[in-house]
Structure 1
């Protein structure tokens, strides 16, 4: 593949593809193509797609000779490649970068898993209220840790918006806003509520919502 426009394979409604779209827009990258691959329709299992992503998942980013998958790896790449433009989302010192990485790990290993467990029940029809309550109880323990952290800093890695915050937007939006569990999650957690209001009001995220 020749050097030129970035190609992102995925679909905007996917939480992982959405994560990459936000990163691109925060960095001011407009010259990219979103090539729709709908895994729910089996499009991830085609030989053409599996040549790019052997597990048949999305997203995949192509940048010249580079083919990259796993959304958090992709957003790190975007932050580094376009370091000199857009929002500085990866930190500017070794300490800041380390804290961004730490909270990206927290998001991937703790927040994301617990949030998706809640979504499994919140998005069901009919909703199993007992199982949802149990999942929310586990998730609340994660949110309590976030409340403590955000009582000291405006954002997770410090007083600057970063990949660590950005990575929460897609999954968090589904639970907090789409399935209206934010009221429960934010009760007694004013710093989490303020943090979510700040990151979910960013123009780049609003543009991604328009694509969904």
Structure 2
């Protein structure tokens, strides 16, 4: 029996939750290993051996160690092509290129403003950090421009990379979840008909519901 892969980090982390959703979609056994970031466990020498930047997640599969959530997700899909959702990372070069294209859009265009908003609106209040209204305004404007492009795209296809749910959509789940459910900026998504339809579909997947349940567990 195969040894479960190991994921280090808290499910509340957007990057960790991205990897967890991928593992569940692919039906790959995993062991979630807590990392207490408040106590600085992610900066200790033993952790830095597997994640040299001292961030989460860190990922181990037997003797292989990886970091960066999107790279980990691609690895999982490539290593386990016949497990779970077989089309999660495409079934031919053209579909895979389309998925990569929208994953790049997520990483470079969607993630920077959405991450800034998640921190300012969802995490800063919990951490008793003063919110920066200038940063909020600037990134809200950036995100609106991105979502206008998504609105057009999602009027042409059911999902970002085509008519099947893929890693491109999955990568958007963590930040969007916080913005829709833990801030007062959910209308950025719900006010756009196609984006709202897309969000409703991807957030209702069993894999993501399981991740959300994991986030609720102390």
Do both share a fold (TM > 0.5)? yes
Q: Distance in 1 between matches of 2:163 and 2:26?
A: 18
1:111 aligns with 2:110: yes
Q: Distance in 2 between matches of 1:102 and 1:40?
A: 35
1:146 aligns with 2:144: no
1:197 aligns with 2:172: no
Unaligned runs of 5+ in 1: none
Deviations along 1:70-98, one digit per CA (max 9) or x if unpaired, are: 10010001111111021120111111000
Give the structure 2 partner of residue 56 of structure 1: 54
Give every structure 1 segment of 4 or more consecutive aligned residues whose post-TM-superposition deviation is greater than 4 Å.
126-131
Give the structure 2 partner of residue 32 of structure 1: 30
> What SS does structure 2 have at the residue aligned with 1:148?
helix
Give the structure 1 partner of residue 4 of structure 2: 5
After superposing the two structures, state which structure 1 stretch, 154-163 or 31-40, moved more: 31-40
Q: Distance in 1 between matches of 2:73 and 2:38?
A: 23
Whether the 8 Å CA contact 1:165–1:199 is kept in 2: the answer is yes
1:159 aligns with 2:157: no
TM-score, scaled relative to structure 1: 0.92
TM-score, scaled relative to structure 2: 0.90
Offset, 1:169:
0.5
**RMSD over aligned Cα atoms:** 1.6
Unaligned runs of 5+ in 2: none
Give the structure 1 partner of residue 21 of structure 2: 22
- The one of 40, 43, 52 equivalent to 1:42 is 40
- Residue correspondences, number: 208
Whether the 8 Å CA contact 2:6–2:30 is kept in 1: the answer is yes
After superposing the two structures, state which structure 1 stretch, 87-96 or 175-184, moved more: 175-184
Give the structure 1 partner of residue 178 of structure 2: 174
